[in-house]
Amino acid sequence: FINNLLDRAQLESGKLKFNMKPVITHDLTEEVQAQVAVLAEAKGLSFTCTRAEDVPDVIFGDRYWLRQLMLNLISNAIKFTDEGSVSLFLFRNGDQWGFRVTDTGSGITDEAKGRAFQAFEQGDSAHTGSVKGIGLGLSIVNEVVALMNGEVALESMVGQGTTFTVTLPLLPLPLEEEAE
């Protein structure tokens, strides 16, 4: 909650700067998986993390923000999924790379899809449980991805789950820097 508020303040101030460095994709996804596994397990959900073979071992980007984007989407998926699974999949598409977060949750109504990326919108999922939050996660994801010259896509069907796909440019690695 506090991190989302701080992230929102940074975005609104126009002071967001990216710390671009080489990032080892396997290490990034291992870190994300370690952070969300407990949440998924607490709800009895399975969580999987896979990547396509053509995803580079090292990408150029801001590790903090890439992790935050993944964590925001996965946390939302877990929050709105009562049974089944949540998955993270990394892919490459030509000169772009990205990740997809898919859940078997309640889905998002067509009306709510249009508001999903607005700040302080809780949306109108078909979820029947009591879901807490203030509605900042998706707006932060959308704005940060746009600042990274990427796109976020939302696909959902009520009762069948939701998929968020983030696509980003695959930037060339600087020659002399080491990956984190």
pLDDT attached to residue 142? 92
Q: With a cut of 60, say whether residue 178 has pLDDT above it.
A: no
> If residue 167 lies in a helix (H) or strand (E), which one and from where to where?
strand 161-169
Instruction: Supply the mean pLDDT for the chain.
Output: 85
Residue-wise pLDDT for 122-132, tens only, equals 554 444 444 44
Q: Return the pLDDT at 177.
A: 54
Checking if the pLDDT of 156 tops 60, the result is yes
SS3 labels along 23-62 = EEHHHHHHHHHHHHHHHHHHCCCEEEEEECCCCCCEEEEC
Asked whether residue 33 carries a pLDDT value surpassing 50, the answer given is: yes
**Encoding tokens for residue 95?**
């000169």
pLDDT confidence bin for 60, thresholds 50/70/90:
very high
More confident residue, 178 or 166: 166
Contacts of 17 (CB under 8 A, 6+ apart): none
Q: What is the mean pLDDT of residues 36-64?
A: 95
> What pLDDT does residue 110 have?
85
High-pLDDT (> 90) share of the chain, %: 66
Tokens of 179: 């990956």
Q: According to the model, what pLDDT value does residue 16 have?
A: 80
pLDDT at 31: 96
Q: Quote the CA–CA distance of 34 and 24 in Å, as a whole number.
A: 16
The terminus-to-terminus CA distance of the chain in angstroms comes to 27
Q: Cα separation of 102 and 146, whole Å?
A: 21
Position 78 confidence tier, pLDDT thresholds 50, 70, 90: very high
